[in-house]
Structure 1
Amino acid sequence: MSSIADNIGSVTRRIQKATELAGRAPDSVRLLAVSKTRPPEDLRAAADAGQTAFGENYLQEALDKIEALADLEGLEWHFIGPIQSNKTRAIAESFAWVHSVDRLKIARRLSDQRPEHLPALNICLQVNIDGEPSKSGCSVAELPTLAEAIGKLDNLSLRGLMAIPDPARPEGPLRQSFHRLASALEDLRLAHPDAGPLDTLSMGMSGDLELAIAEGATWVRVGSALFGPRPRKQE
């Protein structure tokens, strides 16, 4: 069985190869280790192998891991799951990035509850890029109004967009979804140059990261390729 360190090396090489094939700068894509349901010792093993950015979906589980790994320096915590209003304070206090903002109410709460001693909270707007009824996210049509409003919030830095296309779709339609998200980000840059840095595309997972990188991904969110099959979440 491959170790987590071996898996990180393998995924890193995949990222490097895909980045080179796309003609992009070597450091233009970062690996976000999706560590939901994984025990702290798995994250510690990944950190020992040089991984610093971890993405969590479940708030209380994430807070427990943040506490358990508080002795490690330089870890960067990303919240990537659906956000309920009653969870925004803990997210604003504990994370450096939030990839799953899909409405203004949540953005306002995150901004209002961000502690003053912390830098602005990096956020991505989650887009339901394929209009799937079961998926969270705003529509592409809603992006300009949402981005303009969020750009006025003092304690947030609007970095870009996130999407979760269905990885089971054929390669052609899947790549088209990634392309649409990249195009939506470029449209935002042109229409709202003051809304935020708008330098981030969070898209691509274990099975499709090469396609996402070819279309401009800057964060790829990888779980099973690093940690193995995901265990069932304990309720």
Structure 2
Amino acid sequence: MKTLVLGVLLAVALQGCSLVRSVTGSNVDHERFALAREAASLELRHRGALQLSERLTRGRDPFDADIVLQLQDDVILRMLQQLQGREGWIDRETRYVIDSLHGDLHPGSAFVALHLLVRNEDYGVDVHLVMDCEIAFLPEGENLIVEFEPYNVSPDVSAGGVLSVANSLIEDVIRVKLGTLREQFPPMKLPLRIDDAVTLDGSHTVVRGTPNLDIVSPRRLVQYRMRIADVLLFDRHALIAVDLQKVEAK
């Protein structure tokens, strides 16, 4: 009888990441694998929810901002889809391509799972890996900066199991080179493309009485500059607090 050993959330030295892997055999226990990934994300979601509660009770009310935008999760995830197909090298022997990705938003936290096809020329094998990342949205002027923090890397069981011959490659990628993976995914800049000017139509009003009034309001161009003040994450949507920095009419 084959023995299947599943290392659940095996701590590694770099980035506090974990590895769930099959030591022998060609298949992974899908149920235990899913539970291991869920345990890792639940801890981060719990931490994010506590931080969000603290910000809402002690921080600035987001609705005190001049403008509050609500972005649904599908809008944000479509922005992240530009990562699909990106290629890179973990080292001189190990190449990867982002085959697909998906993510979700929760109160106080956001996650994206990158499905990587990793090719190592030294071993001569292709391995499907899933790199789970927590993502942070940081305001920078009129842009959102998205930072990726890998917290779990594991075999992609949806790709048909993991061959035992690939175990050494998986272990090598996680234990030795995981620290460089974060460098392969530098922060992304997501411009919100907020218009910086609006035209106000002119008007002409005549009031007959005592006294008679003839009120003329010329057509004006109002220019303004905005700054993203804060980003709050909730279930399946994000609130973007925006402040007006400068308003002038010409």
TM range (shorter): under 0.3
TM-score (norm 1): 0.28
Q: Which is greater in Rg?
A: 2
| TM-score, structure 2 as length reference | 0.27
